[in-house]
Amino acid sequence: MVKRRIPYFSLAQICRSGQCFRMYEKSQGCFYVIAGDRRLEMEQEKDVCTFYCGEAQFHGFWEKYFDLECNYGEYIGKINPRDTYLVKAADAGQGIRILRQDLWEMTVSFLISQQNNIARIRRCVENICQAYGEERQDASGENYYGFPSPGSLAVLDEDALMACNLGYRSRYVVRAARAVVSGALDLEQVKKMPYKKARGELLKLFGVGEKVADCICLFALHHLDAFPVDTHIHQALEKHYKRGFPNRRYRGIRGVVQQYMFYYETIESLQ
């Protein structure tokens, strides 16, 4: 068990931020996340978080996964104080971190995300994990499924994942798996590429458009200049930035700012 006091960190906000589809709130302040083939239970009370794993696993994986070594207060401090919309958005989502997630898992997850809502994306991802992932057990005896490998999906018929409720996205995922297995998409090389080059490689995949490529770049490759534009962000830009978003001011942290905007727009729509 690892206990830490962490400023600018909220498990609840991260869980609802639309960047991770295998993180769940079990009860008030209690969460678990499955990342690849790992599962972690967590609790948070104010800014004190308890991670139910050993120190070695925490420092070896989860500390980097949650981007805990970065000072998000510095990012928020760069926001123009005269931009009242962005100040409110950052205040509402100040506990969000940009997770460092697996490239393959994010590629599949955001292929599935197209024309889909978060609850349904979660179900689709869980369906393919249960159907094609490896069953595992965590230290507490809890059973779960790891994320399926490219090889386990590449051998499927293109429509096979329709049984997991992916619909037309089934062929996107199967073709992406085949691209990885054949070497047409080298994930290890993509990880080493700068943002623009990585984005270009991802755009070569069948079914990947600009928004999906930017989501993968931001949430898997940690390219913080990626700025995914979905319906929520488009509406915010139209309403609050008629003369254009100040990209130059936020160069290098545009993805962090995007998450504050996305979270603010989605929680505002629920009120």
d(CA 96, CA 209): 25
User: Could you confirm whether 78 is annotated as catalytic?
Assistant: no
Provide CB contacts within 8 A for 46, sequence distance 6+: none
Residue 166 tokens, joined: 């992916």
Given 78, 196, 211, 242, which residue is catalytic? 211
φ and ψ of 38, to 5 deg: -110, 150
d(CA 193, CA 267): 34
234: nearest Cα among 204, 207, 214, 208: 214
**Under DSSP, is residue 93 helix (H, G, I), strand (E, B) or coil?**
coil
Catalytic positions: 211
